Amino acid sequence: MFASKNLRVTFAFVLIGLVSFYFADLEIISLEAANLSQDFFLSIFSLGFNDYHLLLEAFLTTLSIAILAIFFSAFFGAIFSLFFGSLLIRISLAFTRAIHELFWALIFLQIFGLNTLTALLAIVIPYSATLAKVYAEILEEHDTFGDTLRGRDRLSYFIYTKIPDALPHLISYTRYRFECALRSTAILGFVGITTLGYYLSSSFMQGLYHEVWLILILFYILIASIKYWFNKYTSVILVIISFFYLDDFSGFNMANLKRFFTQDIIPYPIKNNLALQSTANWFENIFTNEVLPGITNTIVLTQLSLLLTALMALALFPLISSKFSNKPTRISTHIFLVVMRSTPEYILAFIFLQLYGPSMLPAALALMLHNGSIISHLIGHDTDAMKLRIDTTNKKTELYFYEVLPRVYGQFLAFLFYRWEIIMRESAILGVLGIMTLGFYIDSAIEDFRLDKMFLLLIVTALLNIFIDVISRTARAYLRVNKNVSTCST
């Protein structure tokens, strides 16, 4: 029964991916792609930076924003998780986390300007919603008494039993989200916040590839060493230091905030009291020329990237498993996967875009490498923990296809569906780089200061992500996958 369900889901998934591949624009436009690629990769042997003082400031700014962002996100996430049973709270949080943090940054830039407040709000708002959802799921898994307790007994159970029991899982997931916050903070540099991403994009545009590699390596070291400098002994101190380091919290202006909600995002025909027909024409024009092509391109890129992610994960997970590979192969593959999953999709897409030109190819490669690395790591870890029968074959191909893959395939599909919504969100935001997904039209609307159109397109983007999330949950329920994969679901 499970095998037939897996096959049906796989067939539909592959078919949609192949159709998306047919319609995708995967052209290499750059005439010097080979030379640029060679120059870029060879520059790793000549690391350097023009002004190390600016690099240090960007490093500390990235670190400080991420620390404060996860602090506030965990605080508000914990509060909202207690009320997650409310349908209104769940819908509101689903809508909030469906909008990418870079989109939130673009919104707050219009209200508060280019400062620390914009950066913090851009991360705290979607991350609070995500943490609230996962915290609620973790607490629910530890609810052994259900509704049998009432009043004071239930409160005592919650404080003295449920929270301590769930605390290791809550801390573990929060630590993972901090790693995500570092990546999100870095890419805020692409909209003008002076984090590492700001100087990475600037150096790349100037052809200073040796600076790009230095920034990337510093970022990898930062991610890889998190457990050594952000733990229960240092977290409180780091939060306090970050408060003092980021002293630029100015920019809050009630008049700007009021204008944004009462004027800027109100559809132009309604704001100017035009006839109903004018309003209908306004919506029809945006829907036909921007919403439909934006949704189509976003879905095409998402499904193509999802298929490529699956192929990469199936090909690479044996290379990090002791059941298939020797130690040198496992170490080198593990390093590659760590680097790829530590690099935000946005940065990968930006690099490939400079090398190969504006098409869906850079975005598809970036999404495949990042998400495929995550799933490869998780499946490889599950494979290593797997106990084989005594009579298992020694032939690697037979072991892969007849023993290991059938046993991990259900969980592999679960991981893939957990990443589906993430890939959709990233596909939309990659439009800011010039790929004609929904993000392209949102960014164009902001450049033209047509914030009413921007807001409408953001609503469409959020609804599309919620729709994909519903389909993903339905598919997991159909496959009867109940394991909560927190590192894959966010």
User: 265 — phi, psi (to 5°)?
Assistant: -95, 0
What span, in angstroms and rounded, lies between the C-alpha atoms of 152 and 68? Answer: 34
Pair (251, 365) in one structural domain: no
pLDDT band at 157 (very low <50, low <70, confident <90, very high): low
The pLDDT of residue 147 is 56
The answer on 103 and 1 residing in a single domain is: no
The pLDDT, as a whole number, for residue 59 is 95
User: For 38-55, what is the mean pLDDT?
Assistant: 91
Residue 156: predicted pLDDT: 67
Q: How far apart are CA 431 and CA 293, in angstroms?
A: 12
Share of the chain above pLDDT 90, in %: 59
Out of 194-203, 256-265, 296-305, 385-394, pick the least confident: 385-394
Nearest to 350 by CA among 216, 451, 441: 216
pLDDT of residue 1: 46
**What per-residue confidence (pLDDT) applies to 6?**
83
Q: What is the structure's pLDDT at 148?
A: 56
Residues 70 and 172 in one domain: yes
Cβ neighbours around 470 below 10 Å, total: 12
Residue pair 260/108 in contact (Cβ under 8 Å)? The answer is: no
Backbone angles phi, psi at 323, to 5 degrees: -80, -15
Task: Find the domain containing 180 and state its range.
Answer: 34-264
pLDDT band at 14 (very low <50, low <70, confident <90, very high): very high
Same domain membership, residue 364 and residue 225: no
Instruction: Among 163-172, 225-234, 316-325, 358-367, name the one with the lowest average pLDDT.
Output: 163-172
More confidently predicted of 479 and 198: 198
Same domain, 38 and 27: no
Burial of 199 (0-12, 13-18, 19+ CB in 10 A): buried
Judged against a pLDDT cut of 60, whether residue 26 lies above it is answered with: yes
pTM of the model: 0.90
CATH number assigned to the domain comprising residue 424: 1.10.3720.10
Within a domain: 57: yes
In this structure, is residue 272 part of a structural domain?
Answer: no
Per residue in 327-365, pLDDT (tens digit) is 999 999 999 999 999 999 999 999 999 888 888 999 999
- Judged against a pLDDT cut of 70, whether residue 478 lies above it is answered with yes
Query: Do the domain assignments include residue 271?
Result: no
- Which single residue is written with the structure tokens 């914030």? 451
